[in-house]
Structure 1
């Protein structure tokens, strides 16, 4: 079938993207789904720094490629081996396909699926399938999803069925990445307990989702740190008890003083080493520092080894919020319905596909929290 998609033809591409136009709106050919795949009509797709990092070259990926990994839509057709989905089902996309058989999958850690990560690195679907074509030339898939298009063929294991006809696609899409990654980092990776203290470094869509998770977890001290006054104001409105400008001199010392020696959990979500260093510096003795931000592959983080021992410190990574998508996406939607995760507060802009380059300028400049391209 013919589809309309935003295609990244080269990388890196420099901002401003409204001028350089890295994403070209093209008509592509989309193959029908294979036996273990589904065809989805995309309802909405979010703009995320993980997409931006492919455009600017921080995360090299093969091109041409249709970006977009945070999305929700409606099943149109299922492959011959798919038995648990039918046309008309609403689904949320998840950006790490899973095989169900490798060691991480067997351990209940599907975010670390080995064949899924290999497929994502190649820009293919599970099993190395390529379903997108431009004049006979293959076009690569992003994170097994490629949602900046009106339709996508994806692995069955890249979607989660949701009973959510009452939730607009613009909000539902956010559960695929921002909510999974941010809320999951708090609830799954950190396992924040009521009464504990949490710091969030970096208040983009994922960071503010983590803040919502900290509120839902019952944290009594929630520290929010960013360079944007507008984002700090929103953080206060969403439940932060202390906010700080990241550019402030001796910020780590001030936060340690204000919090009585540091926080129980500090979560870095800016994707930058200085933010990670700050998160580590404001974690108390015996506390936990978690990073869920994707820094450039060449970035390195150094810590004094003696502190890890003498302070019994924990430093952890969190990918996809350590989520089990089939379990956690429906769980987070239930929390949203119960008023515990006001995810709709994160949505700042809706775009057409033709406005996507301008949208990435807003993201790059820090002027947006979560934007979505609407198709329905």
Structure 2
């Protein structure tokens, strides 16, 4: 079939992206689903900081590629051998799936699956297929999803069936922002009632960490961001304190509020400066949970003697250390029960013609989560 999609041919084009147009809106060809594949009509797709990082060239991507890695839609066709989905199912598309067979997958750590990582690096589906072309030129898939398109062919492992009553423009955010932010709290840190946390970076991912910390029973939840306009919403969603990252007394304030430091500091932005502060506000024996990704070659510094003598822990958490088919239904239930106000994180919807300009808004920190409606 022929459809409209956002294609990136080159990384590292300069901002403003409204002028350099790194995402080209084009008509492309999509081959239908083969054996073990699923065709999804993409109803919504979130624009994420990871997309911004790819556009900026901070992490290399095989190009030309149809972009988009979180989304939601409706199954329109299934290939031979697919039994868990059928036409009409509402689904969330996520990159947190694994092959289901390797040691990581068997031990409930699918985000570490080498098979999926290899296919993602090559720009193909997990089964090795490429289903996209333009004028005879093969295009690559973004993380096995490519949701910045009217339709997507993917494999069942990237899909999670959801309740049709959940609005699809909200559901798309669960594929990355929600599982990453909430999962870092529930899975990686396993925050317990009465503990204290600090969240550095109050975008779509960070605010999900805030809401998860509240559900987990954290007694002190401190939200920190460079953009002070985000602080009121952070307080509404669960922060007991919302502080400016520019405050020169920030470290002292956090230590005073928590009697020596937080149990868990969640560094969401990937910023070296934020990481330094996160280490400083973590108590002895506490953990810094590293969620944000900087450039691939970035190196971060820390005082090794203090790490040892204070028994602090640095913990990485990719995609919230999630198991999508276990975690997404739970987080969706929290949303339906009113415990995770994910809808409050949506800054607005857009069409293809607004994608590049909205990259600029995201780059300037003026929005939380913008959602593309590929089919209007």
Which TM class, normalised by the smaller chain length?
A: over 0.9
> 1:328 aligns to what SS in structure 2?
helix
Deviation at 1:287, TM superposition (A): 0.8
In structure 1, C-alpha distance between the alignment counterparts of 2:230 and 2:2, rounded to whole Å: 40
What is aligned with 2:129? 129
In structure 1, C-alpha distance between the alignment counterparts of 2:160 and 2:363, rounded to whole Å: 29
What is aligned with 1:54? 54
1:31 aligns with 2:40: no
What is aligned with 2:20? 20
Structure 2 residue ranges without an equivalent (≥5): none
| Alignment TM-score, normalising by the size of structure 2 | 0.98
Deviation at 1:250, TM superposition (A): 4.1
What is aligned with 1:157? 157
What is aligned with 1:41? 41
Cα distance per residue 1:72-102 (max 9 Å; x no partner)? 0000111111111000001101113411111
Cα distance per residue 1:7-28 (max 9 Å; x no partner)? 1111111111111111111110
Deviation at 1:299, TM superposition (A): 1.1
What is aligned with 1:302? 301
Contact 2:3 2:149 in 1 (8 A): yes
What is aligned with 1:66? 66
For residues 1-376 of structure 1, the aligned pairs below 5 Å read 1-163=1-163, 165-374=164-373, 375=375
Structure 1 residue ranges without an equivalent (≥5): none
Deviation at 1:118, TM superposition (A): 0.8
In structure 1, C-alpha distance between the alignment counterparts of 2:95 and 2:171, rounded to whole Å: 15
Instruction: Indicate the RMSD between aligned Cα atoms, in angstroms.
Output: 1.1
Cα distance per residue 1:267-288 (max 9 Å; x no partner)? 0001212112211111101111
Bigger mean CA deviation after superposition, 299-308 or 220-229 = 299-308
> 1:199 aligns to what SS in structure 2?
strand
> 1:129 aligns to what SS in structure 2?
coil
> 1:126 aligns to what SS in structure 2?
coil
In structure 1, C-alpha distance between the alignment counterparts of 2:285 and 2:360, rounded to whole Å: 40
> 1:128 aligns to what SS in structure 2?
coil
Q: How many residues align?
A: 375
In structure 2, C-alpha distance between the alignment counterparts of 1:111 and 1:72, rounded to whole Å: 19
Cα distance per residue 1:237-257 (max 9 Å; x no partner)? 112111211112142233212
Contact 1:195 1:220 in 2 (8 A): yes
In structure 2, C-alpha distance between the alignment counterparts of 1:78 and 1:315, rounded to whole Å: 42
Deviation at 1:223, TM superposition (A): 0.4
Deviation at 1:351, TM superposition (A): 0.4
> 1:363 aligns to what SS in structure 2?
helix
| Alignment TM-score, normalising by the size of structure 1 | 0.98
In structure 2, C-alpha distance between the alignment counterparts of 1:151 and 1:121, rounded to whole Å: 22
Deviation at 1:160, TM superposition (A): 0.7
In structure 1, C-alpha distance between the alignment counterparts of 2:252 and 2:65, rounded to whole Å: 44
Deviation at 1:365, TM superposition (A): 0.7
Contact 2:96 2:324 in 1 (8 A): no
Contact 2:124 2:144 in 1 (8 A): yes
In structure 1, C-alpha distance between the alignment counterparts of 2:49 and 2:174, rounded to whole Å: 15
In structure 2, C-alpha distance between the alignment counterparts of 1:282 and 1:36, rounded to whole Å: 48
